[in-house]
Amino acid sequence: MSVESTVRAVTTLRLTEMKQRGEKIAMLTSYDYSMAKIVDAAGIDVILVGDSAANVMAGYETTLPITLDEMIYHARSVVRATKRALVVVDMPFGTYQGNSKVALDSAVRIMKETEADAIKMEGGEEILESVQRILSAGIPIMGHLGLTPQSIHKFGTYTVRAKEEAEAAKLIRDAHLLEEAGCFSCVLEKIPAALATRVSKELRIPTIGIGAGSGCDGQVLVIHDMLGINKGFSPRFLRRYADLDTVMTNAVTQYIDDVKSLDFPNEKEQY
């Protein structure tokens, strides 16, 4: 088997080329085989196996509790379904923030056990040693700056980040540090659009925004939010493309009625 046949169509290099041509990058999360199959076949560029799985799949309040083993389980399911998109997997909280050797071990486990294409890590200067160590092992990294949900207990709120000059200056510095270290892309979450546009213009690598305006090189949303499965979450940046909560509730209530009224199964639906 040639190397080409094992590599998915969208590569980290292709994302850089998309930025150079001015073609926007579309990224969505997925956490399981069936959803990833639909998202990939629809033509998405990047699938993120986000640690938002902790919220939308497991029902936790924050992303902190999800474990490396659980992320690996989700990522393996997604990779099995994905033929075209680049698959990026979040490094969960506690697997890279301290010791860079532990960080490398965590990243190697993700790459070996899932066959994903890349990992994502939250933070800038604070995690630079881990970033450099992982990159030097040949593992591609997507950075993540701005609102970094794994630090929610430090921020105390999910409101817009980097509105103040000092925080914006740090974010710009961090973005350049990540690019210089060799990250192939960077998520910018919930920061002012003008700041995200500036960072996107200054960097050669593509930025992927969520609540960061139209000046980013790409956009990402959590699939449960954009499909309207997770109706309790309605931030200003979210556009809902479907109301699956209503569709699914109607289907389930219809099924219950059909079973109770002896309408299901009918003669054609049995052997």
Binding site for ligand KIV (CB under 6 A): 29, 48, 50-52, 90, 187, 189, 210, 220, 222
Token pair 């960072």 in the structure block, residue: 199
* 50 vs 140, beta carbon nearer ligand KIV: 50
* 33 vs 158, beta carbon nearer ligand KIV: 158
Least CB distance from residue 113 to ligand KIV, whole Å?
A: 19
* 26 vs 222, beta carbon nearer ligand KIV: 222
φ, ψ for residue 232, nearest 5 deg: -70, -10
Choice among 4, 113, 180, 189 that is catalytic: 189
Residue among 119, 143, 116 at smallest CA distance from 209: 143
Least CB distance from residue 144 to ligand KIV, whole Å?
A: 6
Least CB distance from residue 263 to ligand KIV, whole Å?
A: 40
* 3 vs 239, beta carbon nearer ligand KIV: 239
Least CB distance from residue 258 to ligand KIV, whole Å?
A: 36
* 90 vs 174, beta carbon nearer ligand KIV: 90
189 noted as active-site residue: yes
Q: In whole angstroms, what is the distance from residue 130 CA to residue 115 CA?
A: 21
Let me know: does 33 contact 47? Beta carbons within 8 Å.
Answer: no
Residue nearest to ligand KIV (CB): 50
Least CB distance from residue 78 to ligand KIV, whole Å?
A: 12
Q: In whole angstroms, what is the distance from residue 104 CA to residue 66 CA?
A: 18
Query: Which residues are part of the catalytic machinery?
Result: 189
